A and B are shown apart, each in its own frame.
Chain A
Amino acid sequence: MKCFARVFAACALTLALDAQDLAVRAELVHTVSGEPIQSGVVIVRAGKIAAIGPAARTPIPENFRVLDAKVVTPGLVDAHSVVGLAGYLNQPQDQDQLDPTAPIQPELRAIDAYNARERLIVWLREHGVTTLHTGHAPAALISGQTMVVKTRGETVEEAVIVPCAMIAATLGENSRAGGDKSPGTAGKQAAMLREALIGAREYQRKLAAAGDDASKRPDRDLRKEALLDLLEKRVPLLITAQRHQDIASALRLAKEFDLRIVLDGAAEAYEMLEPIKAAGFPVILHPPLARFAGELENASRATPKKLLDAGIPFTFQSGYEEYVPKTRVVLFEAAIAASHGLGAQAALRSITLDAARILGLEARLGSLDVGKDGDLALYDGDPFEYTTHCIGTVIEGVVVSEVVR
């Protein structure tokens, strides 16, 4: 409930920003929701798409700023990142994506840790990324919350559109604690998650039993309140699980506690297509350019096509990088998938409309349709080609980048 109130407040704030009336003319307009339009025009008024169509039938109102491009797509949606919490210097002072003091900390809010002026955000924006699902890193059993931002603004308040989007959990090697600390094994990881969720259920029961009698209420517990958001399905649990057995554990956990989950990473998803499909959860796949080592030793660039063929909703992510490069770029990742069997059309849809759906924001983002946010990426050629440049980025009618990248 609190999350929803914040969304509303954030939307109101958004409108207060300087939305510009503008038009984009392009040789090719990828609406994503429908067929591409040759020689098309997109009209953005008061931050929203007001009209779209062939240039001949879509007049540009007077006094509208006009941008020209070879190709225009919806603003790109990076469905999982740590950028803003993690900074490009990779020094202790700009790394806020992981607090290692406890294995389960769902109460850590991403909004309290986001540096809206981080250079990596600028970099992503310059490559057409307008929406970023970012937050605590996939490096603890439950590392904290995530949020959705637009890649704009000087403060988190100006950037955020969903303050609490998901809670980030991680199974496998990356969330094992060192030394004698727990969790040290996969079995312990599952046991600790189950224990935490059972504890939250008890808390839920006591709250319900107390009813309106404040004297009987248990003391407030931020950690359990956050877990209640999971149990009451207000937010999904984002579970990073690369190996097939960890994917199976994630599905088992979701079933036991009737959780909404989003599978993340999922390097061995191609071995688990049927159970994933049956469970009905979407996948935010590892970057195809991620290092195929450690838990990703069996990763495959053919996985996106297999997910597509299986009818499993999926998208890509810039992911979490500990070293160089400090972030990947979903435009580059979808490009690699496009050339490894997925095809350009499905690849573009994956980092726009499909990503928006997985974030629950498809009513607002992800395609060029009248009424949706005026978020656009402009290019001087095929967006996926190595030698094409992103030449402009628009967020809700505001030109936020004009550099040539």
Chain B
Amino acid sequence: MIRSLVLFVAASAAFDAVASAQSETVAFVGAQLVPIVGAPIDDGVLVVDKGLISALGARSDIAVPAGARVVDVTGKVLMPGLVDTHSHVGGGWGADSSAPIQPGVRMLDAVNCRDSGLQRAQAGGITTLNIMSGSGHLMSGQTIYVKNRDKNTIEELCYRFEGGEPMGGMKMANGTNSQRAAPFPETRGKSAALVREAFVAALEYRRKVQAAGDDASKLPARELDKEALLELIDGKRVVHHHTHRHDDIVTVLRLSKEFGFRVVLHHVSEAWKVVDEIVAAKAPCSLIVIDTPGGKLEASEFDARSAAELEKRGAPELVGFHTDDWITDSRVFLRSAALAVRAGVSRETALAGLTLHGARMLDLGGRVGSLEAGKDADFIVLSGDPLSVYTRVEQTWVDGAKVFDISDPRDRTWADGGWGAGMPRMQATCCLGDAEDPR
């Protein structure tokens, strides 16, 4: 009861940190720390206090605070929790088939936070996700930025805007996925025209609101779709734009410029063909890495070297990755970056692409994505080199709380699969205490 009251009062930016912060001080000692900002630190110490990183450095430089619980992670590699900038776990659907542009729809209202996909993501070391609707619409709804805690409700998982409301971007798409019979567009030209029309209408709506001034009687009726579009124009909400082909990519940049919305390019299979344009627009790229080109026309020219090309043009900060789970598997998200290294990008850019760059794409770079004092204690303990196939994610920590441990048989099932692994997570509740999952 007291806990609930605290939660209720703390409806602010600190809401979620308070919800699951661990009061204990814990020191992780002996691992190689990969902070992302700065060089790796051998034989390091990472101190976690109240769900935040309070200090880190070489063992010789950092004193373990008196009374701290010490976790020996000698021989392991400890790095920030991974940020998956594009995921479909949670089983939710956004927009329906009634219209191609539905910005008022929220994934907040659709995600099943007990979906096994979130557990698989924990097993893959993913601590922050951008969960979104599909690419079958020009605009399929608001995405939700999720902290991958074990909780009962989506409210307890979501990041918050400064005002306290659940934080997310907007999912858009162009190219063939969002083209079909009316009322959907059947061509690329029509796709762009419909998007422009929607933004123009939102601006008209704003003009009317402004003209009404303080006179409530003159206000137009509230329209959720247009309010959401205005959040894009105002830069509050970032557009996460599915786009594959070189010409579609350039169309996104054109529309972004016309209406001033901030955009992260997603998938970007043909980024390597229009690197100069992407770099000039400073458009971050959340890249997908697939095993084989093809499977659909727009992915037939996929090349994992896009990350390396962006780096070569002096824009490593634009490189990020995502799982697009189910397209690739959350449990092997590290692999996406490793395959980009295989295709030429540096280790440093690849690891930043999995963490800090992704966090920045979600406006969360000040809070997660690197090991720095004051940031959320979201990190993973690996058995070895993050880019090796033989490395396993052994532990995943969120806000200083362990949410995945490969030595726990239940967690192991999420990691490897097995009987019942696809079932939603069972919840231990107040009344059952630490009851075992009946499976």
Judge whether A332 and B392 touch: CB under 8 Å: no
B292 within 8 A of A: yes
Query: Distance in Å from the Cβ of B124 to the closest Cβ of chain A?
Result: 12
In the complex formed, the residue of A with least CB distance to B267 is A324
Partner of B299, one of A289, A324, A386, A387: A324
| Interface status of B422 (Cβ within 8 A of chain A) | yes
A299 in contact with B295 (CB, 8 Å): no
Report which of A297, A321, A324, A385 forms a contact with B389, defined as CB distance below 8 A: A385
In the complex, are the beta carbons of B294 and A338 less than 8 A apart? no
A338-B390, A339-B390 known; A301-B416 Cβ under 8 A:
yes
* Given known contacts A384-B389, A386-B335, A302 and B416 CB-to-CB distance under 8 angstroms: yes
Chain A residues near B418 (CB-CB < 8 A) = 270, 298, 300, 302
Residues from chain A with Cβ under 8 Å of B338 in the complex: 386-387
A328 to B342, CA, bound (A): 17
Residues of chain A within 8 A (CB-CB) of B332 are 289, 336
Output the nearest chain B residue to A268 by Cβ-Cβ distance: B419
> B388 near A386 (CB under 8 angstroms)?
yes
Q: Do residues A289 and B329 form an inter-chain contact, with CB atoms below 8 A?
A: yes
CB-defined contacts of B209 to chain A, threshold 8 Å: none
Residues in chain A near residue B339, CB distance under 8 A: 386
Q: With a CB–CB cut-off of 8 A, which chain A residues contact B390? A: 338-339, 384-385
- Asked if B164 is at the interface (CB within 8 A of a chain A CB), the reply is no
Contact check: which of A119, A301, A324, A335 meets B290 at CB < 8 Å? A324
Return B287 CB to nearest CB of chain A, in Å: 14
A 323-355 contacts with B by CB, 8 A: 323-329, 332, 335-336, 338-340
B residues near A101, Cβ cutoff 8 Å: none
Asked whether A326 and B419 contact (CB < 8 A) given A88-B300, A289-B332, the answer is no
Q: How many A residues are at the interface, by size bracket?
A: 35 or more
Is A271 part of the contact surface with B, judged by Cβ < 8 Å?
yes
Q: In this complex, what residue of B is CB-closest to A298?
A: B419
The answer to whether B300 and A329 have CB atoms under 8 Å apart is no
Given A325-B292, A326-B294, 18 further pairs, Cβ under 8 A? A90-B297, A123-B293, A271-B419, A289-B329, A298-B419, A298-B422, A300-B421, A323-B295, A324-B294, A324-B295, A324-B327, A325-B295, A329-B291, A339-B390, A386-B341, A386-B342, A386-B388, A387-B388
B220 contacts partner chain A, Cβ-Cβ < 8 Å: no
Q: What chain B residues lie within 8 Å of A336 (beta carbons)?
A: 332, 389
| Complex CA distance for A64 and B317, rounded to whole angstroms | 48
Tell me if A257 counts as interface (CB < 8 A to partner B): no
- Check if B207 is an interface residue, CB within 8 A of chain A: no
- B387: Cβ under 8 A from any A Cβ: yes
- Distance A91 CA – B298 CA, assembled complex (angstroms): 12
- What residues on A are CB-neighbors of B341 within 8 Å? 386-387
Nearest-CB residue, chain B, relative to A322: B295
The residue of chain A having its C-beta at the shortest distance from the C-beta of B337 within the complex is A386
Query: B292 is contacted by which of A271, A326, A339 (Cβ under 8 Å)?
Result: A326
CA distance A336 to B388 in the complex (A): 11
Residues of B within 8 A of A386 (CB): 335, 338-339, 341-342, 387-389
| CB proximity to B under 8 Å, residues A274-317 | 289, 291-293, 297-302
Distance between Cα atoms of A324 and B294 in the complex (Å): 7
Judge whether B75 is part of the interface by a CB distance below 8 angstroms: no
Question: Are B389 and A327 touching (Cβ within 8 A)?
Answer: no
Min CB gap B175→A, angstroms: 13
Contacts of A291 in B (CB 8 A): 326, 329
Interface residues of B in 310-350 (CB under 8 A from A): 326-327, 329, 332, 335, 338-339, 341-342
